[in-house]
Amino acid sequence: MRTYKFRIYPSKKQETQMKKHLWIEKYLWNKLLEANKKKYDETNKFLTKLSYLSKAKNFLCSPPSGSFSMNMRSCGLA
């Protein structure tokens, strides 16, 4: 089996965009995990795919920082 290693050299703008993207992923993961744990504790059932999608949009439309929500272009998810 062959493996390959790749190294990227992003510009400052690309690096900023990647950091923002990773922050969004971390925020969304933690919020959905929290919602899933809460649902399981209450009903002994997990969230469905449709529930995840609706909660994800709700979480992304109301993030904790104002500058982040401005970048999301009014929940159009840029």
* Span 8-42, pLDDT tens digits: 999 999 999 999 999 988 988 898 899 899 999 99
62 — pLDDT class (breaks 50, 70, 90) = low
Q: Which of 52, 2, 1, 3 is nearest to 28 (CA)?
A: 52
Beta carbons of 75 and 61 less than 8 angstroms apart = yes
Statement: the pTM of the whole predicted model exceeds 0.75: no
d(CA 51, CA 70): 25
